[in-house]
Amino acid sequence: MIDNEGFDVGCIRFTDEAHFHLNGFVNKQNCRFWGSENPHLCEEKPLHSPKVAAWAAVCRRGINGPFFMRETISSERYITILEQFVSTQLPLEDRPRIEWFMQDGARPRRTEKVFRFLDEHFGNRVIALDFLAQKWIGLHIRSI
């Protein structure tokens, strides 16, 4: 697509969230530090401490968000975040129809409701695990 159609990678909104525990612990599951020596560090963390999730979308044109949520992000809560994102950010864009939306493959983001929402607001401009398969199945079932 990049080579054949002159696709602008800067028009992709990369999205994700991070969880911040209110006791100061930061979940660093996606961060890795490599070194030549073992630091002999033991990090204690509570099993169920209160936390806040911060979700944002990043592209060449800037950062959209963050949007905050106190609970674990379920499919319904994720749609709430997407509704806030679409209602507050996309109307401000001067080129909303060329923007692409990219999300990770976490299970709450791969439900039929989420895919319907993304299809309604972004059409075929979605990069997400199982998005096209789910869209095809939905169209096929509706045509039967």
Q: 59 lies in a domain? A: yes
Q: 3 lies in a domain? A: no
Q: 2 lies in a domain? A: no
Per DSSP, the three-state class of 119 is: helix
User: Taking the model in full, what pTM does it have?
Assistant: 0.69
Q: 56 lies in a domain? A: yes
Q: 23 lies in a domain? A: yes
Q: 1 lies in a domain? A: no
Q: What is the pLDDT along the chain (144 residues), one digit of tens a residue?
A: 666 666 677 788 899 988 888 877 666 665 666 677 776 766 666 667 788 889 999 988 888 889 998 877 889 999 999 998 888 766 666 555 567 889 988 888 989 899 999 988 888 888 898 887 766 555 544 444
Per DSSP, 23 falls in state: T
Question: What CATH number is attached to the domain comprising 88?
Answer: 3.30.420.10
Instruction: Count up the domains in the chain and report the number.
Output: 1
Q: 4 lies in a domain? A: no
Q: Which residues contact 55 (CB under 8 A, 6 or more apart)?
A: 15, 16, 17, 65, 66, 67, 68, 69, 73, 81
**Domain that includes residue 116, residue range:** 9-139
Q: Which residues contact 105 (CB under 8 A, 6 or more apart)?
A: 128, 129, 130
